[in-house]
Chains A and B, each alone.
Chain A
Amino acid sequence: MDLSQLAQAALILADPSVWLWLIVGTALGMVFGAAPGLTATAGIAIATPLTFGFDFASSMALLLGLYCSGYFAGSIPAILINMPGAPGNAATSLDGHALARRGKADLALCLAVIGSALGGFLSIVVLAFAAPTLSAFALRFTSVEYAVFALFGLTCIAAISRGSLVSGLLGAALGMVLGLVGIDPVGGMERLTFGNFSLLTGIALLPALIAFFAITEVFAQAMAGQHGRELPRQEQARPLAVFRLIVQRWWLVVKSSAIGIGIGLLPGTGPTIASWIAYGEAARGDPQVGSKDGSENGVLASEVANNAVTGAALVPLLTLGIPGDTVTAILIGAFLIQGIEVGPLFIATHGQLFMQILILLALANLAILVVGLGTRRWLPLLLRIPQRILVPMIVVFCAAGAFSVNNMSFDVLMILVLGFGGFVLMRLGMPMAPVVLGLVLGPILERNLRDALTVHQMDWSVFVTRPISLAIVCITLLVIGVTYWRSRGRARPAT
């Protein structure tokens, strides 16, 4: 790292407009991240054309502020009302909302805020010091590695199927079936659409998420009546105590960051997979994760990994010109607006701008801490709204949110069908988290498995003859073995 370039880049801190746009970006990210149906991607897509008249630092301040806080803010409705604002925060809702039910919403929010900022900071360190090396490694991932990686992701099912593994596996299979609907990604054939034109594009993830988490929760609350599931009075958490709690769990933070960074480096993945895998890892070490009472570890792991993706996804973008996720794909447009082409020569030729990005990312994560911790006292006020008013309002929010994803009324109908179906299945004992995991990972697994076999002339041995793929297969088998061994240990009666 060139310190003179860093010092020159730090001069942007003296520019008030940079601070102003950073705050605006953070605030917009909070709104877009927290609103169901709207994501950081949508926020950045809307904000990018506005940066035509901006200089580079102001443009990046707005967009990176929006990017980082947008990834975090989905955890706010996930914790408070069990309605993840974005797919990357779905895992957070499992333990976050369970904690809110115990009067610990403030603790869960503090964990989400500090965990997100920590994940973000750690990913900046990686971006600053190891970007070129890591991007070269990430490029060695082909469809073979992606396929076994998706398979590894499915091992999380065991961790999130508290109660019955068979029901959990069934849920994941159902999610994967839903992921099959639409145009076959390899052959281009119509599949399981039953002649319905609206199903050609498949079942969109966001409406499905709204259905399986929010609508099922709404029906559960309607079933319980106006006082049945009323949340208790919320306890205030002290940020210093939460810091101490996080320091005690430093290994979980490191592990979840590594998962988020590793996944963020891989183009085409994103925070959803990162947060689920980190959550699954946390659940393997703590039986309380995913339980009815919830655990701090579940919230922390999911949120650290979710935001660790932010800096890591910029590695392939800034070193190779390849976007790591949808947001960084849009950011290419923001760079082009500034007349800058990102690619292998970007850091060498625009070292100072690279340093500005690092500084702005650090500031954006700092802004999450300040804004998140500053506003968290008022956020649980949402829970003081009586259930009789809150529940119907959530339905309206879900409908408008689902409609706004693609401006399609079909998505609104979809949340009704999937939501009611999901609720009945949930009452019959099927957990909803594996369904969502199957919906996320199923299409990735299928597309890459078929691509890999096409490229290697249907040679299945390719999955164990390539070193990275073999390593992931071994880790997957090891995780399955350890999970099975532990479950046997738990099942054995104490002597």
Chain B
Amino acid sequence: MIRSDTILGALAVIAGLLLLWASFFIPTSGFVTTLSAQFFPHVLAGVMVILGGLLLARPRSDTLQGALAPLATARFAGFVLATAFYLIAFPSVDFRLGTALFLLAGIVLMGARKPLELVLVPVLGALGMWIIFRFGFTILLPVWI
């Protein structure tokens, strides 16, 4: 049975080694008489490998299945995908349109079924949020018109 700490520890060791590898590409200036720009990345890489090793050696009893199984539902995957699409498209789609579509998808995935709710929440939510940021905080959000 795979444990959560085993995966976390393995990830930490891999991340530490990757950091160590990447830090060798950090340029250093020969004129600076102090710790180099590579010093902290090296230290942190070492710390991550050691801590990852400790987790691998002495994992707690939580199982990986218990930690990640709830994520493997269609509803959760749909919500994460909708969020990802919304955030990736954020700069190129009109805020009001993108937000209305995301809110519609989001509330449906969260279980909303009432027709009035499915119309009012996306429309009023998107417009209300745009008005607050545009006129309240004078923040220019991406819009087409």
- Pick the interface stretch among A11-19, A303-311, A413-421, A478-486: A413-421
Say which residue of A191, A400, A416, A446 sits within 8 Å of B84 (CB atoms): A416
Tell whether, in the assembled complex, residue A412 and residue B26 are in contact, meaning their CB atoms are under 8 Å apart: no
* Chain B 47-67 interface residues, beta-carbon cutoff 8 Å to A: 47-48, 51-52, 54-55, 60, 62, 64, 67
Say which residue of A167, A387, A399 sits within 8 Å of B90 (CB atoms): A399
**Residues of B with C-beta under 8 A to A392:** 102-103, 105-107, 110, 125
Known contacts A192-B26, A223-B71; is-contact A457 B33 (Cβ 8 Å):
yes
* Chain A 190-207 interface residues, beta-carbon cutoff 8 Å to B: 190-192, 194
**Residues of A with C-beta under 8 A to B126:** 396
Tell whether, in the assembled complex, residue B27 and residue A189 are in contact, meaning their CB atoms are under 8 Å apart: yes
**Residues of A with C-beta under 8 A to B117:** 389
* Chain A 215-242 interface residues, beta-carbon cutoff 8 Å to B: 218-219, 222-223, 225-226
Tell whether, in the assembled complex, residue B68 and residue A397 are in contact, meaning their CB atoms are under 8 Å apart: no
- Pick the interface stretch among A102-110, A129-137, A361-369, A426-434: A426-434
Q: How far does the alpha carbon of A412 sit from the alpha carbon of B84 in the complex, in Å?
A: 10
* Chain A 359-402 interface residues, beta-carbon cutoff 8 Å to B: 386-389, 391-393, 395-397, 399-400
Q: How far does the alpha carbon of A290 sit from the alpha carbon of B26 in the complex, in Å?
A: 38
Q: How far does the alpha carbon of A416 sit from the alpha carbon of B95 in the complex, in Å?
A: 17
Tell whether, in the assembled complex, residue A404 and residue B139 are in contact, meaning their CB atoms are under 8 Å apart: yes
Tell whether, in the assembled complex, residue B102 and residue A458 are in contact, meaning their CB atoms are under 8 Å apart: no
B115 at the interface (CB under 8 A from A): no
A293 at the interface (CB under 8 A from B): no
* Chain B 76-99 interface residues, beta-carbon cutoff 8 Å to A: 76, 79-80, 83-84, 86-88, 90-91, 95, 99
Q: How far does the alpha carbon of A190 sit from the alpha carbon of B125 in the complex, in Å?
A: 41
Known contacts A170-B52, A427-B67; is-contact A184 B26 (Cβ 8 Å):
yes
Q: How far does the alpha carbon of A424 sit from the alpha carbon of B11 in the complex, in Å?
A: 12
Closest partner residue, chain A, to B87 (CB atom): A416
Closest partner residue, chain B, to A183 (CB atom): B37
Tell whether, in the assembled complex, residue A412 and residue B91 are in contact, meaning their CB atoms are under 8 Å apart: yes
Tell whether, in the assembled complex, residue B51 and residue A222 are in contact, meaning their CB atoms are under 8 Å apart: no
**Residues of B with C-beta under 8 A to A403:** 90, 139, 141
Q: How far does the alpha carbon of A396 sit from the alpha carbon of B5 in the complex, in Å?
A: 33
Tell whether, in the assembled complex, residue A395 and residue B86 are in contact, meaning their CB atoms are under 8 Å apart: yes
Known contacts A38-B137, A166-B54, A170-B55; is-contact A187 B44 (Cβ 8 Å):
no
Interface size on B, residues (CB 8 A): 73
Say which residue of A164, A400, A428 sits within 8 Å of B133 (CB atoms): A400
A441 at the interface (CB under 8 A from B): no
Tell whether, in the assembled complex, residue A430 and residue B8 are in contact, meaning their CB atoms are under 8 Å apart: yes
A173 at the interface (CB under 8 A from B): yes
B140 at the interface (CB under 8 A from A): yes
Q: How far does the alpha carbon of A228 sit from the alpha carbon of B70 in the complex, in Å?
A: 12
Q: How far does the alpha carbon of A448 sit from the alpha carbon of B67 in the complex, in Å?
A: 39
A111 at the interface (CB under 8 A from B): no
Q: How far does the alpha carbon of A211 sit from the alpha carbon of B90 in the complex, in Å?
A: 16
Tell whether, in the assembled complex, residue B102 and residue A395 are in contact, meaning their CB atoms are under 8 Å apart: yes
Say which residue of B32, B121, B125 sits within 8 Å of A187 (CB atoms): B32
Q: In whole Å, how far is A145's beta carbon from the nearest beta carbon of chain B?
A: 17
Tell whether, in the assembled complex, residue A412 and residue B87 are in contact, meaning their CB atoms are under 8 Å apart: yes
Say which residue of A164, A389, A404, A416 sits within 8 Å of B137 (CB atoms): A404
Tell whether, in the assembled complex, residue A225 and residue B75 are in contact, meaning their CB atoms are under 8 Å apart: yes
Tell whether, in the assembled complex, residue B40 and residue A409 are in contact, meaning their CB atoms are under 8 Å apart: no
A425 at the interface (CB under 8 A from B): yes
Tell whether, in the assembled complex, residue A170 and residue B8 are in contact, meaning their CB atoms are under 8 Å apart: yes
Known contacts A223-B71, A225-B75; is-contact A167 B55 (Cβ 8 Å):
yes
Can you list 25 A-B contacts with CB-CB less than 8 angstroms, sorted by A residue number?
A38-B137, A167-B5, A170-B8, A174-B48, A180-B40, A184-B26, A187-B36, A187-B37, A192-B22, A222-B109, A225-B110, A225-B111, A387-B110, A388-B112, A389-B112, A389-B125, A392-B105, A396-B125, A400-B133, A416-B87, A425-B8, A427-B71, A429-B5, A450-B39, A454-B32
- On A, residues with C-beta under 8 Å from B are 31-32, 35, 38, 46, 164, 166-167, 169-170, 173-174, 176-177, 180, 184, 186-192, 194, 218-219, 222-223, 225-226, 386-389, 391-393, 395-397, 399-400, 403-404, 407, 409, 412-413, 415-416, 420, 424-425, 427-430, 442, 446, 449-451, 453-454, 457-458
- On B, residues with C-beta under 8 Å from A are 4-5, 7-8, 11-12, 15, 19, 22-23, 26-29, 32-37, 39-41, 44, 47-48, 51-52, 54-55, 60, 62, 64, 67-68, 70-71, 73, 75-76, 79-80, 83-84, 86-88, 90-91, 95, 99, 102-103, 105-107, 109-112, 117, 121, 125-126, 129, 133, 136-142
